[in-house]
Structure 1
Amino acid sequence: MGERVDDEELERLVGEGAELLLAGWGSADRAAVRDDFDEWFTRLGLDEYARDVTELFLQTKLPVRKDLTAMWRARLRVGARVPSDPGAADELRALIDRLIPTVLSDPAGGDLIDFRSGTFNGPVFGVQHVLNTYGASPLGEAQPGSLDWPLAKDIEPLTHGVRPTGRVKGLPALPPYVGRDQDGMVNSALEQARSEGGLVIVLGQAYVGKSRTALAAMAQVVPEYRVFAPAQHEDLRKLPALLRGRAERCVVWLDDLDGHLGDRGLEPRLLAQLTGLEAVVLATMREDVYDTYVRTSAPGRLLDLANTVELPVAWEAAELKRAEETEDPRLVVAARESGTTGVPAYLTIGHRFWNDWQRDRNPGRHPRAHALLRAALDLARCGLKGPLPQHLLVTVHEGYGIAGLERETLDDAFEWAGREQYGVLRMLNRSGLKKAPCWEVLPYFVHTAEQDEGFPPVAGWVWGLAVEAARANPSAYDVESVVAGAPAGYLREAEAGDGAAMHALGLLEGGQGEGEKAESWFRRAAEAGWTESAGRLGRLLVERGETREAERFLESAAEAGDDEAATLLGKLLRDRAAKWFGAAAELGNPEAARQLGDLFLAEGELVQAEDCYLRAEEQGYAEVARSSGMLHLLCNGPGAAQVWLARAAAAGDGPAAELLAHLGSGPQPLEETRDRFSFSEAYPLDNAHYGVIQEEQGELAEARKYYEKGYEVGDAYAAYRLAVLLEKQGNGEEAKLWYRKAADMRHPIALAVAERPGAPDTVKE
């Protein structure tokens, strides 16, 4: 209906509501009508109107309908427009929809509602009184033949005042009757009334099971009696005339006795007449109403004549045992969970709560309260039995995506869900400290959801939070039970292709020691694109030695930001690189030897690194310069390190140049530095190195000799060093010649010099 109804819709709504309220006054199920309207007004803060509802239903005679209808239309209009509750009109519509079937299905009907003078723009309902159909009454004249009333043994409880419980597929509408400890007293009182006549009242609080107990006693003690069940406020004065002279015996069934008292109803003289006709009067009455009537004159005198049996709310252990022995799941759960509430109240109010909650997802009603109850219900279905931390409920309820949460604060939602309603139960029961409140959902909700095949299953992400909560507080929850149930919770989503659910199943199976199952789920999740599973699968494969297969999964995880997967992949690739660099080095590849040496150097394996670098040096592989320089630096040979790093820097190696700058410059002891090299034909690069050492010692002729030897074995660096030396000596023309030779050998600095204006042509040897 939305936040606000238009005027036309509002008038139709309040018109239906007023007619329903008055029809309910004359209905056999008047208590339900009274309670629902009372609660609606109370929830809206209209306590005065709520009290007026109660007073209206205590009256024994309905005032003039036209004036009364107008009054209640006005009051319902106020309620539907309460500014503080935009969902009030929706609640009224739900109330009407809920009660119409109850009133319409009442075989005793109710007062006749005459819509002939009304104008309505939508569907309307009417309830007609079977004993007062436009003035014709079967009580007017006694008719010959049998009374066309049902036998006591055939009475249908739901049409004679017993409130419905939740339906379960494959089970009867009502659970079987469970004997109360007071049955003997009720049966005894009814047997006495059968022999002597009189009034028997089963007394008790609302929702205590009065009607069911009384009807069960009726079926057992007087099964062949005909049952007359008049509507509320029916004129009973002609009933004796109808019964007089008949052989059949009768039970007058007056559920909610307060609706049958007064001048036209049951009073001491009429009771005496019925007793004389061997009729039994069996009634039920609420304790609060009984206490009100015993203080008045005429009704009080009648009640003094009654044989009253009081039914307690809480069930004794023997009664609960009998309920469990029925094996009806509704009764089994109620016996276990109802506590001091009592089984009947638990079943009937739980059923009403469930229906109310199903409607409260509407943004105009209580969407946040609905979501919080759903969270508590789902967590309980996961196995988190007992109180749940409020912060956990808040986290879960936000994940459902229910619209309209912003229209209801958390405090308001918890207040509504935790409020005692119908004077009996709460949907959420609060416990714990004020700063750390906990909430427990009504067990009826859990049982009903588990029995309802159409109710949504618990989502996988909720199972995940439930497992975390159980493990975080093992003293409060059965961790094994929650963990054991989680796979089934994830399975549906996993089979539908949800990678997150597959990953969660892998974690659960792994935690239970099911390695093969865990790996299977991780593989499925990884193939579905869930990179977290790819990382885990990669690690599992590495542990098993299947490194090649692991690499693709680790790479997928690494690309998604998994640093551990990236590190492990790097190690695998390094190890594999070492293998193939080693193979290439054995085949004589100097680049592979240098790369392998770098790997050894990084691992601190200096002997192996030196062996690899020497292999490269033997082949005149100048690119090994920085690596060799680093090795000499680590082996405390700064002079030799400078020589190698100078070579690398001259070739354009930036890091080598930076290291060289940090080392500083200056001559090194000739013998000490020379010892760091292996001057022989086997190491062609060392010619230039010896030239550098000689040059630093001032032995320029010796330096030129070694540079020329280096050039002869194809070392571009040797030619470059000689060019630099000649330039220092002022021999520019010859320096240009050697720069050109070095450039022809692709030395980078020599190339740059050769490109300058005035550089000589290439020298051909």
Structure 2
Amino acid sequence: MVAGTHPSRPGTGGGDGDVPPYIARDADERIRRHLAEAELHGGMVLVVGDSTAGKTRAAFEAVRAVLPEYRVCAPSADNDMTGVPLSVERGGSRCVVWLDDLERYLRPGGMQVDVMAALTRLKVPVVATMRLKPFETFSAARDHGSGAQLLRAAGVIDLDRLWSNEELSRAERCDDPRILDALTHHGTYGVAEYLAAGPSLLREWRRAGPGNGHARGTALVRAAVDLTRCGLRGPYPRALLEDAHQWYLPAEGSISRLESVDTAFAWASKVRHGVTSLLLPAGTEKWLAFDYLVDHADTRIPDPVWEAALAQTDADADRWVIARNAQDVAPQAAEMAWRPLADAGNPYAANDLALLLGALGRVQEAESLYRQALGKGHLDAANNLAILLEREGRVDEAEALYRSALRGGDPYAALNLGDLLERADRLAEAAALYRRALNNGSKHAAHALATLAQKMGSLDEAVSLYRVAIELGDPHAAEDLAELLIFLGRPREAEECRARAAEGS
């Protein structure tokens, strides 16, 4: 429980705090293999999945199995992470760094690329968990900003919330009554979901409302859920929820009367199934939303709630996460979050705000911010500014910036400069840059090099390079290879290629 697992339905064999026996998951072998490699070489093992999929428990059991004698360093998300490598080194004992809910650490001063690089040099394994929605937000393909590079370098293992037939078969051999009850009643949900009472509470919340006397209660829960979706760390004071919930109440006159605020809080905080509640008490008059509800909420967050989240915090880390969550759905809120940090001279905020404004077509502002970040030594800013200028037709300036980024070690600059040169018909230079990117492990470089070889008539080389791209996980290489094989009169190989791609998808 201390590691961050959800409570489960109470059992008959012990107290309500008893943790059910662990049922081996199909992903265990991959998690443990990655962890064994991280023990030898350093690196991050990241378990990703929906709330209540069993991420934390699977990660915990992997640490217990692979690193039983290691000490666990579990820094608070509020801590400055830059000192963690030195603290671990001075500690003198073998240690694993534990980061539950990794998204809380992806901020300036948190778990950044340089901190991870220092831990890797010390061969310190890092084990982390992350819910699927935050993972998708932070690792978005267009995002070269804070956190994205870290996630791309991690060993990511997906954990499905729905159990496989093999997992269910293993569970059937367990004699714990909670597991057996879950097997009988979980229906279309995962066993871990059922144990944590997630589906039951979600249904109750969605069905409650004005028609059954819980209009204010459901609004309070939604306020807490949406503040969490914004990225504001809880717990939330009662006064904040009382203010924010007003935006979710039914229109005036649509119901005869609302329940009192005290009645609404009592309903929302009532423990269901002996497990948890819609609102979780977290101190005197402070509350958290049950995170299963957060993962399954998909309604639009009202603009005033974004503003309330920003007004509630003066922590740079919170503003950062709020900006990241807002950038695609509420760009005005993202700008409000990043602007004070950029104005204060934070190069990471300047870079990420420039990404946002560039996407909104505010080119001059974006360019100014990129140059501000570049002047402060931000490694990504040169590459990102080059992309912006290339898009604006300022190709010579873009080329110079790509080369500057390349000299600075930017992992994307070789691929981007190669693409620019290929379109300028400077094919030999482009090929050299693609090979440089490929040597650094870029799956996109393998695909680009294959396409270039095909364009230059080196068809056998193109076939080999497409196969390399497929091995590296490029999602489009298989179809391009199949089309080339058909052109070469090798239809059977083309069909085999498509079949293997379909099996792996």
Q: Same fold, TM exceeding 0.5? A: no
Q: Tell me which structure has the larger Cα radius of gyration.
A: 1
Please tell me the TM-score bracket, short chain as reference.
0.3 to 0.5
TM-score by length of 2: 0.40
Structure 1 length normalisation: TM-score? Answer: 0.27
